[in-house]
Amino acid sequence: MTHKIILDTDPGIDDAMAIFFAFQSPDIEVLGLTTVYGNVPVTMSARNALTLCELAEQDIPVTQGVGMPWVGPESGYAHFVHGDDGFGNIDFPASQRDLDPRSSAQFIVDMARQHPGEITLVAIGPLGNLALALRLEPNLPQLVKGVAIMGGAAFVKGNVTPVAEANIWNDAHAAEIVFAADWDLKMFGLDVTNSVPFTPDFMDDLELRNQKLGGFVKKSSEFYTDFYSQGRDDRVCFFHDAMPLAYLVNPELFEMTRGHARVSTDPLNRGQTSVAPIGTTMSPLWLEASQIDVATKVDHERLRQLYLDTYAL
């Protein structure tokens, strides 16, 4: 079965790896890339998305979305993780293609109306575009097949604060809106993404399987690996953003836990994703919260092989 998706993204090195995986997979049809601020400013995010489409020879719409959090000032950016250009400072020539003139939120709404019940929204950056789309079309949860996000930390510590993961922390109020909506939401957070380190031999294999796309990932990930290898005896990086896409292709790789979820927006706990597994609480404050599915375990070796096999197609 082919999964129609809209990929909401903030490229970003691991975003690039995920986007190429989606393009290569015969089980995924990418209807468009919607971009958001996050790893880089939204103007750079949109330009980077166009560049990745051009490199992969994909002629699909790319839209520019929200550039600010739902509440509060402009975000800082993760240039220390992804480089000043979002691609590890490799000076890759930027695409001169044109953006689709619609906002990311409007594109999501338009496509959901055009393909009711068929589209999975895969969000691998902050959730401002999805929150805005919900405001533009309150019936959006009934128009999409489901939502899969890379973000959050349910039962492990955060990577920005002790309790918060970066994508959720970057726009906690938007995340609160998205988590509370009445749709099938699956969360792939640090519980699984930080459990799967990738060593340089994986990037070598990606390049061997696909010289153009895998070679780009290998080159751009040098900077990324430098960041993740600080204080370690080995060189590793983490391709967080491809996990929800891998689930669409092969859900058997993952163990999921269903629970009631809430996103904190207070200053101290901003961006915390708290999950009460079904049957663990009788508190009305939790029982009235939306239920989501959280990925808690993944088969590392089979996931690695899935990535390599898909890049080779």
- Taken in order of first residue, the domains within the chain and their CATH numbers are 3-311 (3.90.245.10)
Is the Cβ–Cβ distance between 235 and 46 less than 8 Å?
no
- pLDDT band with cut points at 50, 70 and 90 for residue 233: confident
240 is an active site residue: yes
Q: Where are the beta strands (DSSP E) in 171-313?
A: 185-188, 254-263, 273-277, 291-298
Over range 49-62, report the average pLDDT.
Answer: 98
Is the Cβ–Cβ distance between 79 and 40 less than 8 Å?
yes
The letter for the amino acid at 156 is V
Closest CA to 126 of 194, 192, 36: 36
Write down the catalytic residue from 3, 82, 173, 240: 240
Distance CA 233, CA 215 (A): 25
Q: pLDDT tens across 129-143, in order? A: 999 999 999 999 999
Closest CA to 183 of 229, 222, 146: 146
Q: pLDDT tens across 102-114, in order? A: 999 999 999 999 9
Is the peptide bond preceding residue 12 cis, with omega within 30 degrees of 0?
A: yes
Q: What is the pLDDT of residue 12?
A: 93
Q: pLDDT tens across 235-244, in order? A: 999 999 999 9
Question: DSSP letter at 118?
Answer: T
Q: pLDDT tens across 168-214, in order? A: 999 999 999 999 999 999 999 999 999 999 999 999 999 999 999 99
Over range 273-295, report the average pLDDT.
Answer: 95
Question: DSSP letter at 103?
Answer: B
- pLDDT band with cut points at 50, 70 and 90 for residue 74: confident
Q: Is 26 exposed, middle or buried (0-12, 13-18, 19+ CB in 10 A)?
A: exposed
pLDDT at 3 over 80: yes
pLDDT at 100 over 80: yes
Distance CA 195, CA 25 (A): 23
Closest CA to 4 of 33, 30, 35: 30
Instruction: Look over the chain and give the mean of its residue pLDDT values, rounded to a whole number.
Output: 97
10-19, 153-162, 227-236, 251-260: least confident range: 227-236
3-class DSSP state of 248: helix
Distance CA 257, CA 304 (A): 22
- pLDDT band with cut points at 50, 70 and 90 for residue 306: very high
